[in-house]
Amino acid sequence: MGVAEDLKKRIDEIVDSNKDMAKKLVNLFEEQIEELTRRLGPKKNEDILASLFAGCAKERGKMPMLGEVFPKIETQTTHGPISIPEDLKGKWSVLFSHPADFTPVCTTEFVAFQKRKEEFDRLNTRLIGLSIDQVFSHIKWIEWIKEKLDIEIEFPIVAATDTIAAELGMVHPKKGTNTVRAVFILDPEAVVRTILYYPQEIGRNIDEILRALKALQKSDEEGVATPANWPKNELIGDRVIVPPAADIKTADERVKKYECFDWWFCHKEG
């Protein structure tokens, strides 16, 4: 048998093996559906699917998702104990994780957040740092920042356990046990509105986090959307986008009421 024929035979074997695996997965899924149907009785298909998704949600643990209330956490911070999400309600929050205390990139980020704290305050927003370092490490680190850089870190830093960090989706493959640079923007109901992830080797752009926060608040207040690079968009500048019409009558009215490129792309002053 030649090399080409041998290679073709091996490829065929792999394909056949994958077909067999696919059949096994389909059969397993069908068995699970049948078992759910038996347990749930005469319920609609959507009820069965809802049960499946609920099971998936349970499996993924506490990992936050957009539109969900932030998972329950009770732990210690540099400002005392904290109970999330209860203690976060009533104001917007930016919860951000960092890989480790006493590291250069993280130090620059904390200084950058602190330099903009007054602006976050004006937006009714609290800042909360987080890593798996212990509170005594956080305290010593912010003392070092105060002593060496003359910057006083005024926001709390959460001391998370490895388990909490993993469940919140802050520990990623091939990044060790340290947390990646995750950012969660929460509204006054502690609902997750934005999630950002940065690798350990890249520091965050704090101005972009501020921009996203301002855009969320603008969207909530006026029922609008914001364009790319808002408030410096290449097409409409600092204007905001009117939600597309849902019927013919509204589509006709939109082009008369607003400036539009077309009925589905109208904008106004923000």
Question: Quick one: pLDDT band at residue 167, thresholds 50, 70, 90?
Answer: confident
Choosing from 59, 81, 99, the residue where a domain stops is 59
177 with 248, same domain: the answer is no
Identify whether residues 11 and 118 lie together within a single domain.
no
Both 54 and 9 in a single domain?
yes
Instruction: With respect to residue 211, please indicate whether it lies within any of the assigned structural domains.
Output: no
| Residues identified as active-site | 106
- Give 62-111 pLDDT, tens digit per residue: 678 999 999 998 999 999 999 999 999 999 999 999 999 999 999 999 99
Instruction: Give the single-character DSSP code of 72.
Output: P
Q: Please report the pLDDT score of residue 111 as a whole number.
A: 98
Are 180 and 90 members of one domain?
yes
Domain assignment present for 229: yes
DSSP 181: E
Domain co-membership, 232 together with 111: no
In a domain, 214, yes or no: no
Q: Do 34 and 106 fall into the same domain?
A: no
Q: pLDDT tens for residues 4-51?
A: 565 556 555 555 555 555 555 455 556 665 665 666 665 555 554 444
Handedness of CA 167, 124, 212, 251 (dihedral sign): positive
Q: Mark residue 90 as left, alpha or beta (left: phi above 0; alpha: psi -120 to 50; beta: remaining).
A: left
154 and 110 in a common domain: yes
Q: 228 and 152 in one domain?
A: no
Inside any domain, residue 140: yes
87 and 21 in a common domain: no
Q: Show the domain range for 236.
A: 223-268
Q: 171 and 109, same structural domain?
A: yes
Do 149 and 248 lie in a common domain? no
Number of domains in the chain: 3
- For residue 88, the 8-state DSSP code is G
| Domain identity same for 175 and 238 | no
CATH value at residue 243: 3.30.1020.10
C-alpha 168: how far from chain center: 10
Q: Residue 16: CA atoms inside 13 Å, Cβ hemisphere, count?
A: 6
Measured over all CA atoms, what is the biggest interatomic distance in the chain, rounded to whole angstroms? 77
What percent of the chain clears pLDDT 90, i.e. is strictly above it?
Answer: 63
Return the structure tokens found at 230: 């808002």
pLDDT for 169: 77
In a domain, 213, yes or no: no
